Amino acid sequence: MEARTNQRFFGSRLAPWLSVMVFLGMLALIGCGASVSSQEEDNKQVVPRFIEEFKNKANHDIVDELMTPGFIHHLKDPRLPAGRAGMKLLGQVVAGGFPDVQATVDELLTDGDRVIERTSAAATHTGDFNGIPATSNKVAWTEIHIYRMENGKIAEMWSEVDLLSLLVQLGAIPGA
């Protein structure tokens, strides 16, 4: 008899409270998820803007706006200075050799504070590029970049660029 009484008591009095607690817990989880997704979406908007301004419009000063003061690039070229200054110099070198460069984002993914970008670029080699005189060749290459975002700005960047293909197209390396 006592078990039935307890079951009725807990079943009738606890069930509504338990339902409310489960519902509130779900709302809290959804709310947390929305803020993470919102932050990821905000981060995802920075990278296409960077590509459009920095690469397609040769606005290299945009790094001061879109990158943190302590920005770190992981580019392997030892001639590039650290930080935002290295990015500006890289932009100037590429724009000097390929003033009509157009980069197109092929894929853009987010994972927490990371934005992953896969890009195709096309240009005409009308200026000196790393000691290679202008060839007037139309060239294309691909790039993959991983950006670590911090407070809506790019804090760190890792890059892989298909320079081998580019050098073959410029005639700096014999083709197959």
Mean pLDDT of 67-88: 97
125: left (phi over 0), alpha (psi -120 to 50) or beta: beta
Among positive and negative, which fits the CA dihedral 65, 70, 73, 76?
Answer: positive
- What is the C-alpha to C-alpha distance for residues 58 and 154, in angstroms, rounded to an integer? 18
Q: Which CATH class is domain 44-169?
A: alpha beta
Q: Would you state the pLDDT for residue 18? A: 45
- Residue 104 is predicted with a pLDDT of 98
- Which pLDDT score, from 0 to 100, does residue 132 have? 97
Closest to 147 in 3D by CA, of 176, 119, 166: 119
Q: Are strands 114-124 and 102-111 parallel, antiparallel or unpaired?
A: antiparallel
Domain spans of the chain, in order of start: 44-169
Q: Summarize pLDDT for 122-135 with one digit per residue, the tens.
A: 999 999 999 999 99
pLDDT digits (tens, 9 = 90+) for 15-35: 555 455 555 555 454 455 445
pLDDT confidence bin for 37, thresholds 50/70/90: confident
Which value, to the nearest 10 degrees, does the dihedral of the CA atoms of residues 128, 132, 137, 142 take? -90
Q: What is the DSSP letter of 81?
A: P
Tell which wins on pLDDT, 23 or 76. Answer: 76
Asked whether residue 44 carries a pLDDT value surpassing 90, the answer given is yes
Would you say the pTM of this structure is higher than 0.85?
A: no
pLDDT for 17 = 53
Q: 95-108 pLDDT, tens per residue?
A: 999 999 999 999 99
Q: For the chain, what is the mean pLDDT? A: 88
Closest C-alpha among 146, 163, 172 to residue 73: 146
